[in-house]
Amino acid sequence: MPRIAYVNGSYVAHRDAAVHIEDRGYQFADGVYEVCEVARGFIVDMGRHLDRLNRSLTELSIDWPVHRRVLQIIIREVVQRNGVHDGLVYVQVTRGVASRDFLFPEDVASSLVVTARKGNPALADKRAATGIKVITVPETRWDRVDIKSVGLLPNVLAKQKAKDAGAQEAWFVDAEGMVKEGGSSNAWIITRDNVLVTRPAVHGILRGITRTTLFEVAEKLGLKVEERGFSVKEAKAAREAFISSATTISLSVVEIDGQPVADGKPGSIALSLRKALFDVAEKTPA
């Protein structure tokens, strides 16, 4: 089945999908995006993702390209047309197409692109069973990382550095040695007394949707959560560490900067969170 994309009002073959060269997303990274997990034929936490999309658009004064209800229909249609039962759907909104100028253009419609692709649940479960390695890197991003902007060059460089080091994720660390978040994920640790710890999503990190749902999962499992900062040193000494995102759910970190976390194997709590999330999350039939 050929892949299908939605671009500004049309469903087109993915290989032919294109935007204008003066789209401000291409020229200025003047746009935002969301990624929703598709699992077992359901779009996971779509309502929360669209709420966050609305916040990002509002912060950047970008208009919705279509009504929210219409976007929901488009998302489901793209997932269906691509036959995605397990995978992800990607939504991107930019300020639109205009002659290159730093100032906001007037009377220009925002641009909308929606794509979807299939995933491999068996491969994802295998990765969860082995865990991932993380390196730490200095914070180099702009101050408004709470906005899910398409301007991700520092993240790209950090994740490439991780790959070059034989790791799968990079954690940004502030000047005080405190972990902020990953290149494409939120960062967590579990203390020796089984408390889940993650940095407050007030400043300096993105308010992850999976992160938010995991709070509800933890409550269901009777686990305590603390929103506070934690250092690289504390993370290395933790009982468990893990990352969360729409594409990884809860994924154990077994090594940080070459040092094993605990016994260097995925932890039972992170695995239990992963297993329980689907039942707790909002599910929209695809």
Q: Are residues 109 and 151 in the same domain?
A: no
**pLDDT (mean) for 207-213:** 98
List helix spans (H) across the chain.
24-28, 46-59, 68-81, 121-130, 153-164, 209-220, 232-236, 268-280
Mean pLDDT for the stretch of residues 57-67 = 98
Kindly state the average pLDDT of the residues 205-225.
98
pLDDT band at 203 (very low <50, low <70, confident <90, very high): confident
Mark whether 245 and 179 lie in a shared domain: yes
For the ranges 68-72, 199-203, 243-247, 258-262, which has the lowest average pLDDT? Answer: 199-203
Q: Which residue of the set 133, 148, 159, 236 is catalytic?
A: 148
Q: Across residues 178-205, what is the average pLDDT?
A: 96
Whether residue 1 has pLDDT greater than 90: no
Domain boundary among 97, 119, 141: 119
Q: What is the mean pLDDT of the chain?
A: 97
Order of strands, sheet of 111-118, starting from the edge strand that comes earlier in the sequence: 10-13, 4-7, 111-118, 87-94, 31-39, 42-44, 283-285
- Reported as a pLDDT band with limits 50, 70 and 90, residue 275 is very high
Total domains in the chain come to 2
Residue 148 falls in the annotated catalytic set? yes
Single pTM value for the model: 0.97
Determine the structural domain holding residue 152 and report its residue range: 124-285
**Domain end: 70, 94, 119, which one?**
119
Q: What percent of the chain shows pLDDT beyond 70?
A: 100
| pLDDT at res. 202 | 86
Specify whether 16 is located in the same domain as 154.
Answer: no
Q: Which of 70, 88, 119 is the last residue of a domain?
A: 119
Domain containing residue 196: CATH number: 3.20.10.10
